[in-house]
A and B are shown apart, each in its own frame.
Chain A
C-alpha cells in the first residue's frame, strides 16, 4: 500500500539523513539553551544559596514556585520576554532550514550532503516565509471560525441556560474532529505547497498553492492516511514519554529526567522530518502517477 510505503520510505530517509536530524536537534537544543541560560543565572542568584529547592520533591513544588514567583517574579519578566524573542527566532530558523530539509528529501535515494542542505536554506527562505505567514493566517481564521461556532453552539457560554455541563462538552464531540480535520487539511496543503515550491523552484506562490490544493484533493485518501499515521506515531511518542517520565520524576533524578526529555525532543525532531520525508515521497509518487507537471 502506497501509504505504508511512503511511511517506511520516510523513515528510511530520516535515518539516511541522520546527520541532518542530529543537526536540527542540536539547533533546537542550542537555541533553547541560549534562552534558558539567563534563567539559570537568575535562579542561582535567587535560590542558589537557599536550601529550599534542594529538598523539594521530585515533581512540582507549589510552595517553592509560589514563594519564588512572589518574591522574585519581577526579575522573570525580562527573561520571559527574551524567551519569546528566541521562540520567534526559532520560528524564523525553522523557515530557513525548511528549504534545506526539503531539498535533501527531494533527492530521495541520494546520500546526505551538507552542500545540498545549505544550498536549499537561503534559496527558499523568503518564499517559505511568505507561505508560512499565509498559512498562519489561514489557520488563525479556521481556529477563529470554529471558536465562534463553539461559542454559538453553547449559546455564548450561557451556563445558566444549560441543563448540564455536558452541553459545554458535547459540541466539542463534533466540532473538534471537524476542526482537526480542517486544520490537518490546511497543514497538508501547506506541506505539499512547500514541497512544490522547493521541487519546482517557483518564485511566485499562487501556482504552488493551487497545485498543492489540487494534489491534496485528488489524493486525499492516501495523503490523509499518511497524516494520520504520522500523527499516531507522534501520539505514541508522547505516550512513551509520559509513561517513562512519571517514574523518573518520582525517582528525583533531574539528570535522568533530562536525558529522557532529550530523547523525547530528539524523537519529535525526527517525527517532524518523517512527516516531511514521507510527504515528499507521496508527492513524488502522486506526480509520477498523474503524469502531470506538478
Chain B
C-alpha cells in the first residue's frame, strides 16, 4: 500500500518544524501504514523499521514480537497461562474469535528478502508463534542502522486480553510486529550482547526501545480514532479516512477506534487531554480530568513535567472491557460502570495508576516481563499516594454507605490477604509467580515496602530519591539493581550512614526474601521497687527503709519481633502521669526490654505509633495497654448488636 501523498506531506511538514529536542535514543523507529477492514476484522499493514545498533556488537539477526499470535490457538504460551483472563478467553473460544499475525514479506534496505522462523526462547513451545527470528543478509555493524520493511496481515482477536475488537469497538494494542530490545553486554543482566525478546505471556507486557512512530491508520469514515502521539491530520477518500499520528520518544504505539466515541478535550499545563468516551459516559469527563490533572501536577512536581504534547484517555464500553485499565505511551484506558456511585472511585484509581505509568514504564522503560515490580510496583505506590492525597487516606478508593477503604489500605489487604504471602520472592519473571500471586507481590507488596521506605526516610526524602532515579534512568532501561544503586547513593547523600553503609539490608529483606514483618508488644509490667536498705558505706550504718513515701515502680516493657523482617522502629511508652517516652529501636533483636525506674507506672506501649512500617502485617498487636481498652470494643460490639437487631427485625417481616 503506497503512502498517500497527503500523509507524506504531513510527515515532511513535521520534518520542517522547529527542532524539538530529542528526548530518547530513538533506537527503533517505525513508519507504519495500516488499513482496518471492519468487515473481515483484519489489519493489513506495511511498516518500515529503522533500527540502530546500540552496541559494539555486530548484530546478525532481528527478533520481532508477533503478539497477536498469542491468540492464534489454545496452545500458545499466553493461552496456557491465561487463567486470570478466564471469561475473556472463554468468550474468544466460544466465538472462534482467534487472532493472528502473518508476516508475508520482510526485506532489508538493500531489497534482500529475508528468511523468518518462529522461536520460543522462554519455554520452547512449538505452538507459540509470538517471536519471529529474522537472520539478516547483511549484519548490522556496531553503531550501524538497518531499515527492515515488512508486509503483514493480522486477524484481530475478538475481545481478547488487552487487545481486540468487539462489536464496532476496536482496541489495538500489541498489534504490529515490534522488534525486541538488543541488550549489549553489561546492560541490565546481559553478560554478552543478546536480543531480549520474550514470548508474549499472560502476565507482563512491556519492554521496548524508544523511537519515533509515524502511523497512518485507514478505516471507515464514520470511525473516530484515538492513538499514541499527536494527530497530524485526517484525510478522507472514498468512504474511508486516514488518520496520521506521530509519536516521538515512546516505546510503543496503541490505538482505539469506534464510530461511537465522543471526543472531549481539555488542556492542562499545555498538554492536550483528549477523552474518548461513549455517549453515556460523557458525564464522567469531569471526574476523569480532575484526577488526571492532579496526577499530572503530582508527578510533575516530583519527577519533572509530562514531556509529551498530549494524552489520550479511552473509556471503553462495557463490551470493550477487555481493553480497560491499560497503559500505553500517551494513551491510557480506564473502566467505569455508569450505575456505580461516584464514591466508588475505581475509575480515578485506574487513571491515576495508568498516568503514573507514563513515567514508570514509558519514560523509565524497565522490563515488565522480567521485573514487574519495577514499573507496576512503583506505579502502584504513587497511585496510592495520589489517591490518598486527593480523596483522603481512609476513603480514597471507596466511601459508600458507610464502607470506607483507602488505597494504601487496599494494598495491605491484597498482599496480606494472600493465602500464603510468603509464596514467592521477586526473583522471577512475571509469568513465573505461582498461584496468581504476581499481582499481589509485584503491585501491592512493592507498594507496602515503598511506603515503609517512605516511613523510614520521610516523604520528601523518598520523593527526592525517586526523582533522582527517574532523572537518571528516563528514556533508558534500568533494572532493579539500578534502582537500588540510586537509592543507596541518594540515601547516603542525605542521611550519611544513619541507615548503615547502604540500604542493601533493606532491599535484601524486602526484595530477596519472602519473610514477613510483625512487631508486638509482649508485656507491660510495673513492679514496686523497695527503697534502698542495708549496709552501704560504714558497716555500723544500716540504712533502713524510710516510712511510707511515694511508692517507686520498675516499669518494664517487652517488645517482640515475631517475623523475619526487621526495620528500625519507634517504641512509645506512656506513663500514668500522661508523659511519654519515645525509644528508637533498631528492631533487630527477637525481644527487647525497656526498663524505667522512678517514672511511675507504664500504662501503655506502642510500636511504630505513626505506622511507618506498612509491611507490619498486624497493627493490632503493635500496642498494648495495662487497663482494658473499652472504647473500641464497645463501638464494634454495639455495631454488631445493631446489625443483629436489624437482621432479626428484617427476618420477622417474612412471618
Contacts and interface: CB of A to CB of B under 8 A. Distances in A.
A31 B641 contact: no
Interface string B312-323: 000001110110
Interface string B52-66: 000000000000000
A136 B654 CA distance: 7
Nearest to B413: A66
B655 A132 contact: yes
Interface size bucket, B side? 35 or more
B320 to A, nearest CB: 9
A47 B649 contact: no
Interface in B626-640: 628-640
A292 interface: no
B482 to A, nearest CB: 33
Given A36-B637, A66-B412, A265-B642, A71 B620 contact: yes
Given A57-B394, A62-B404, A68-B620, A90 B636 contact: no
A236 interface: no
B125 interface: no
B621 to A, nearest CB: 7
A269 B649 contact: yes
B581 interface: no
A3 interface: no
Nearest to B631: A54
Nearest to B168: A163
Contact of B620 (A28, A50, A249): A50
B184 interface: no
Contact of A83 (B159, B617, B619, B644): B644
A277 interface: no
A205 to B, nearest CB: 15
Nearest to A45: B633
Given A60-B402, A128-B655, A136-B654, A52 B645 contact: no
B619 A63 contact: yes
Contacts of A233: none
A164 interface: yes
Contacts of B416: 66-67, 70
B391 interface: no
Contacts of B623: 50-52
A75 interface: no
Contacts of A57: 394
B629 A47 contact: yes
Contact of B649 (A39, A187, A265): A265
Given A40-B633, A47-B629, A62-B406, A159 B645 contact: no
A279 B290 CA distance: 53
A205 B394 CA distance: 55
A39 B317 contact: no
Given A53-B629, A159-B318, A160-B319, A33 B649 contact: no
A169 interface: yes
Interface of A: 28-29, 31-33, 35-36, 39-40, 43-44, 46-54, 56-57, 59-64, 66-68, 70-72, 83, 86-87, 90-91, 94-95, 98, 128, 132, 135-136, 139, 159-169, 187, 249, 254-255, 257-258, 261, 265, 268-269, 272
Interface of B: 91, 159, 166-167, 278, 280, 317-319, 321-322, 337-339, 394, 402-406, 409-410, 412-413, 416-417, 604, 606, 617-625, 628-642, 644-649, 651-655
Given A50-B620, A51-B629, A53-B632, 4 more contacts: A32-B648, A36-B640, A49-B625, A87-B648
9 contacts: A29-B645, A47-B629, A49-B625, A159-B319, A160-B166, A160-B321, A165-B339, A258-B638, A265-B645
